[in-house]
Chain A
Amino acid sequence: MAMRARQKIRAPRRGPTAGKTDDFEKYWGDLSTSLKKIHTKDASDISFELLYRNAYGIVLANRGPDLYERTKALEKEWLDGEVKAQVTAAITSSLLLAREQVDVQDQANERREAGERFLAAIKEAWEDHQLCMGMITDVLMYMDRVLAEHRKPPIYVAAMALFRDHVLRSTIRSDSETTVYSVLESTVLFMIQLERSGHIIDRPLIRHCIYMLEGLYETITEEESTKLYLTVFEPAFLEASRKFYQAEGRRLLETGDAATFCNIATERLREEIERCADTISPSTESKIKDILDNELIRNNLKEVISLEGTGVKNMLDNDRIDVLQSLYVLSARVDDKKAPLTAAVQKRIVEMGKEINASAIAAAQASTLGVGKKPEPGEKKPAEKEKPVNQQTVAAIKWVDDILALKQKFDNIWMKAFKSDQVMQGAISSSFAEFINLGQGSSDSRSSEYLSLFFDENLKKGIKGKTDIEVDALLENGITLLRYVKDKDMFEAYYKKHLSRRLLMKRSVSMDAERQMISKMKMEVGNQFTQRLEAMFKDMTISEDLTSSYKQHVRQASDPDQKKVELDINVLTSTMWPMEIMSNVKSDKVQLACIFPKEIESVKQSFEQFYLGKHNGRKLSWQASMGTADIRATFQRSNGKTQRHELNVSTYAMMILMLFNDVPAGESLTYTDIQAQTRIPDHDLGRNLLSLAVAPKTRVLKKDPMSKDVNPTDRFFFNHDFQSPFMKVRIGVVSGSANKVENQDQRKETEKKMSEERGASIEAAIVRIMKQRKTLIHSQLMTEVLTQLSARFTPDVNMIKKRIESLIDREYLERVEEDPPTYGYVA
């Protein structure tokens, strides 16, 4: 059992000073000599341990605070004397002279050199101070540790504050107000100014001086926000920059070249970012960018964009993609919406669009004049086949092509210069829509019609010999424009009309292309839109079957020796096809059904029997105006020869010609006779007679008197002397058989129909909504109707109101309340 004698623990030996306060001065004396040596970079023979031990002893003797104050005083003296002298010695008069601008080149050079010397002196003083204070702090670390509990800032911090006050903020001469700092600031700003005007400066040197400002604080607690850099230098720098860029902005505007402005602004931005990274502080980057954005870009952008001759208009016209791109980038910096640029682009699009509109109208008018001079442009020669029907149609197609080209141009700009910006895309689209729909509702707007004609032309001829891909692209282009057309119902009407002609007259080049077109429209506009078009196709297919099965039927049922009249029939669902084709009603007059020749009548009855036998309860009405007939005509030449021709004529023409079967040779029929016997409508009769008796190549009839118009008293003879180099002769009807731009009357007609149809659509929509909602406030009802119909057309608010009234009158709706006006659905 080890027994340890109770042992008292020794108190540690005392430190060197051992509480004897008299020793303080001695130790401080040694210490201060050494600290001075540190400042004069003469420390290599100094023992750290000795200094540390001295400081430790002093602190242990509770003289820490004294040591702290003495050290501060020593530093202050050093800075006030040596350091300040060094720094102020480097200040020359050129640094103090012109504090604003130095215009003269050699003066600037002189000042720069002096500035560099001065900055180097500051940098050296600062770096020495940091280094020495680092060493001194190390030596005095024990003091710092103990005094930290007395809430004293570390000696290093205190010494930095001394540097701030006794070097930077000291005046350069006792009789001057100017401080070292203010010289520093003006020198650095001067250097930056030099660099901005293209000189090369010593960036690292400035960066070092900025480091110093970032390492010094206003307060002893060293809050981030009180860095001298932030409190003093940065504001000055930003203010100087603001002035500079204000001036630069003015200067650039005066030179009046938008492209230069964009290039310089872009370059300035890059420069400033680089400056923040290399010369001053990265923390300033966002602030200087703000200044550039505000002073240089935002304040001038609008004017730059609208600069005469070099602004956006010019850039767009000349496809200056590069400049537009930098303009776009600059705009995006200051404005999410890029309002001025967007507006300029939009304005230019509308202008160019209007030009296209105007040239189309001009072309159309030119052709109208042409029509006046040459009243029978519809007359066909084989050579003319490939040509568009008339000038107006040419204008229409040119219009579409022009717009497509414009679109192409702006798509290109949008993609390359505007970085496929969403907002810009919207703006461009809306501008296209704007001019395309310009004058919507008035007779000026022909976009729907033109577009439909474009399709018509292409589907009839344009796509011949093109590959599938080309066709697809062509149609796609058209569809793009369709996207901009607001009144889709108008387009639909035209398309239907044109389509029906193509279908009934078999003018389509490719049914595939037609179907492709339908499916494209379906994707673009929706199911509802193409429903009726598709129904038309369906009717055509069914009719084909029907025709063949009817032929079958006839073969089986009828007696074989009867002179056969072959019938190709298209049964059309009346609601799906264009109204003017379907209606028997014209100009509010009831038109009696025309009288077919016997042979035809019997075929007609036979078919009706056949058809109604299949589909009980349906009503067939015959549209003779749309039909054609092949008839074989025998011409007894005066020389006794007979010449046969096969004539391809309209149904009406066939009916007229058939009359002459019963007319003895040399006899004639008057217009009135013909009308009485056929009941062909006036208009059609006239046109048909014109083509039979007046058109130079197809004069199967002779007219007396021979003139270019048809009067009721005219008499018609069968022309046995009809000559034609061809066996088969096609006799077209003067105007009306081909799709072309409507004339004013037709247009009014179309519009009237349109508005009736719209009325019906609106009513349908109202009833649909009300049936679902039962009661609804007026404004809400309006909104819903508008949204429901917007895909097809933009309904007129007054029209909706009228329709609501009308529905109330007809007791579909009732007024439930007056304030706010509310309607109820009457079941």
Chain B
Amino acid sequence: MSSSKSSQPDYVTLVSGDGFEFVIPRSTACVSGTIRRMLDPSSRFSEAISGRCVLENISGVVLEKVCEYFCYNEKNKHQAHVPDMDIPPELCLELLMAADYLDT
């Protein structure tokens, strides 16, 4: 995947602790404050250089849901009265922790 900071539609890779990889548009990933800072080109951390974020403490199942949320958030950015996203109850606590971690 392209990780260069070009003006092309830019994708980044999110990797879960258990090794699942999700390739999503940079702008979408930046819904998360944490990932946004992680990828900030002005800071010279390895993630910003490689465009690849390994999220050690988030599992693949949860990260998938997180990515789903990123897209859902992008899609509903300018709408009022957005219906809630469906969250399986058994995931909700873990997702909550992830959301807190990712500042989302």
Task: List chain A positions with a Cβ less than 8 A from chain B.
Answer: 7, 9-13, 15-16, 41, 43-50, 52-53, 56, 131, 134-135, 138, 141-142, 145
State the CA gap A10–B94 with chains docked (Å).
8
State the CA gap A45–B44 with chains docked (Å).
9
Best-surrounded residue of B34, B45, B55 (most CB of chain A within 10 A): B45
In this assembly, does B93 line the interface, its C-beta being within 8 Å of a C-beta of chain A?
A: yes
CB-defined interface of B55-95 with A at 8 Å, one 1/0 digit per residue? 11101000000000000000000000000000001101110
Given contacts A15-B57, A53-B57, contact A141 B103 (CB under 8 A): yes
In this assembly, does B41 line the interface, its C-beta being within 8 Å of a C-beta of chain A?
A: no
A9 and B57 form a contact (CB under 8 A) = no
Give 11 A-B pairs besides A11-B93, A56-B101 with Cβ atoms closer than 8 angstroms. Answer: A9-B92, A12-B97, A13-B57, A47-B54, A48-B53, A49-B38, A50-B56, A52-B34, A134-B42, A141-B33, A142-B103
Main secondary structure, interface of B, reads helix
28 A-B residue pairings within 8 Å (CB atoms): A9-B89, A9-B93, A10-B94, A13-B94, A16-B57, A43-B44, A43-B45, A44-B46, A45-B46, A47-B45, A47-B47, A47-B54, A48-B37, A48-B38, A48-B48, A49-B53, A49-B54, A49-B55, A49-B56, A50-B56, A52-B34, A56-B101, A134-B42, A138-B38, A138-B40, A141-B33, A141-B37, A142-B34
State the CA gap A43–B46 with chains docked (Å).
8
In this assembly, does B31 line the interface, its C-beta being within 8 Å of a C-beta of chain A?
A: no
Among A11, A131, A138, the residue within 8 A (CB) of B37 is A138
What is the number of contacts between chain A and chain B, taking CB atoms within 8 Å?
73
How close is B38's CB to chain A, nearest CB, in angstroms? 4
State the CA gap A142–B92 with chains docked (Å).
21
In this assembly, does B24 line the interface, its C-beta being within 8 Å of a C-beta of chain A?
A: no
Query: Could you say which residues of chain A place their CB within 8 Å of the CB of B42?
Result: 131, 134
State the CA gap A44–B50 with chains docked (Å).
10
A9 and B43 form a contact (CB under 8 A) = no
Query: Could you say which residues of chain B place their CB within 8 Å of the CB of A16?
Result: 56-57
B33 and A48 form a contact (CB under 8 A) = no
B43 and A135 form a contact (CB under 8 A) = yes
State the CA gap A11–B55 with chains docked (Å).
19
How close is A154's CB to chain B, nearest CB, in angstroms? 14
How close is B35's CB to chain A, nearest CB, in angstroms? 9
Among A11, A12, A13, A48, the residue within 8 A (CB) of B43 is A48
Query: Could you say which residues of chain B place their CB within 8 Å of the CB of A53?
Result: 56-57
How close is B73's CB to chain A, nearest CB, in angstroms? 19
The 4 closest A-B pairs by CB, nearest first: A48-B45, A138-B37, A12-B97, A48-B38
Query: Could you say which residues of chain A place their CB within 8 Å of the CB of B97?
Result: 12
In this assembly, does B23 line the interface, its C-beta being within 8 Å of a C-beta of chain A?
A: no
Query: Could you say which residues of chain A place their CB within 8 Å of the CB of B45?
Result: 43-44, 46-48, 135
How close is B77's CB to chain A, nearest CB, in angstroms? 22
How close is A30's CB to chain B, nearest CB, in angstroms? 13
Query: Could you say which residues of chain A place their CB within 8 Å of the CB of B38?
Result: 48-49, 52, 138
